[in-house]
């Protein structure tokens, strides 16, 4: 019994220590005198790698998820004679939940793992150490632009995902199954509130973007500088990132839409 308590205590303390270390790591990366011109160039470069390179998987996944949503929604709604509400169902599901969550999960798998592997490899090949010895802080030069790039790219990717998925739902619902086009778009327009739904969806995706990017860069920077260490860190990024998204999503949904005061 005492061994179990001892073990749980150690796990708890390690967890707290890691959380504190990662918070300090992020603070040291982001707090400091900004160099706008130099940083803007690095930020654009990283947004290209993090955002543009994730675009293909986001667009294709969005299209298919929207199509499935249209098909499933129609088969259920048509039983109650409510197939006209398909647009409403598709849009609300996507903007409030599926857009930010699925984009976050895909982002963790595509961009998060790439960030961890890249930073981990830079550490293993002593590139970060050599940067330090050249008098350049790798936290400001390598970590900070990647964090901001993830933070900015994620909401944009979530919006693109939702837009493409709504089009996927439209293709299946209206063009294939024959739901009235006016009812599809009209009900959607009436049901979706920009302030309540779209903005909350954007806030969710910003939170997920922060979490995933933070986990990815911390895992890369603190991994063991070996091929095995990098592999483990990459896996941890995807696992921790996905779990963080799904658990935080519940709390955000409860606060935003669940009537929690």
Partner 1 sequence: MKVNKQNESIVEIRNLSLTRGSQQIFNQINLTIERGKVTAIMGPSGCGKTTLLNVIGGQLPAQQGQVMVNGDNILALNSQQLYRVRRSMGMLFQSGALFSDMNVFDNVAFPIREHTNLCPLMVKDVVLMKLQAVGLRGARELMPHELSGGMRRRAALARTIALDPSLIMYDEPFAGQDPISMGALVKLIRLLNDTLDLTSVIVSHDVPETVSIADYIYLIAQGQVIGAGTPEALMNHSSSWVRQFMHGLPDGPVPFHYPAQNYANDLLGE
Residues near partner 1, by CB under 8 A: 121-122, 125-127, 129-137, 141
* Cβ closest to partner 1, residue 40 vs residue 136: 136
Q: At closest approach, how far in Å is the CB of 222 from partner 1?
A: 15
Q: At closest approach, how far in Å is the CB of 23 from partner 1?
A: 17
Which DSSP letter does residue 126 get?
A: T
* Cβ closest to partner 1, residue 121 vs residue 183: 121
Collapsing DSSP states into helix, strand and coil, what is residue 223?
coil
Q: At closest approach, how far in Å is the CB of 65 from partner 1?
A: 34
- d(CA 124, CA 119) in angstroms, rounded, equals 9
* Cβ closest to partner 1, residue 139 vs residue 159: 139
Q: At closest approach, how far in Å is the CB of 241 from partner 1?
A: 24
Collapsing DSSP states into helix, strand and coil, what is residue 146?
helix
Cβ atoms 223, 122 nearer than 8 A: no
Give percent helix, percent strand, percent coil of the chain, each to the nearest 5. 90, 0, 10
Cβ atoms 102, 164 nearer than 8 A: no
CA dihedral 235, 207, 14, 118 (to 10 degrees): 40
Q: At closest approach, how far in Å is the CB of 145 from partner 1?
A: 13
* Cβ closest to partner 1, residue 56 vs residue 136: 136
* Cβ closest to partner 1, residue 45 vs residue 181: 45
Collapsing DSSP states into helix, strand and coil, what is residue 115?
helix
């Amino acid at each position: 019994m005492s061994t179990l308590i001892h073990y749980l205590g150690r796990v708890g303390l390690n967890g707290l220590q890691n959380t504190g270390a990662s918070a300090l790591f992020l603070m040291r990366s982001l707090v400091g005198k900004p160099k706008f011109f130099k940083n803007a160039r690095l930020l654009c470069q990283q947004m290209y790698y993090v955002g543009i390179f994730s675009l293909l998987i986001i667009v294709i996944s969005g299209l298919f998820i929207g199509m499935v949503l249209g098909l499933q929604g129609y088969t259920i709604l048509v039983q109650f004679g409510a197939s006209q509400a398909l647009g409403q169902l598709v849009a609300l599901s996507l903007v409030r939940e599926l857009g930010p969550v699925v984009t976050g999960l895909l982002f963790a798998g595509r961009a998060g793992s790439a960030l961890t592997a890249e930073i981990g490899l830079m550490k293993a090949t002593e590139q970060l150490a050599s940067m330090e010895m050249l008098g350049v802080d790798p936290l400001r030069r390598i970590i900070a632009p990647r964090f901001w790039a993830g933070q900015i790219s994620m909401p944009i990717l979530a919006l693109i995902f939702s837009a493409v998925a709504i089009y996927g739902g439209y293709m299946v619902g209206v063009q294939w199954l024959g739901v009235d086009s006016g009812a599809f778009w009209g009900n959607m327009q009436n049901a979706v509130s920009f302030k309540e739904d779209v903005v909350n969806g954007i806030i969710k995706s910003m939170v997920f973007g922060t979490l995933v990017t933070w986990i990815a860069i911390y895992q890369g920077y603190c991994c063991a500088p070996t091929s095995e260490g990098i592999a483990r860190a990459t896996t941890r990024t995807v696992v921790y990132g996905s779990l963080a998204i799904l658990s935080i999503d519940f709390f955000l949904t409860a606060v935003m839409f669940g009537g929690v005061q």
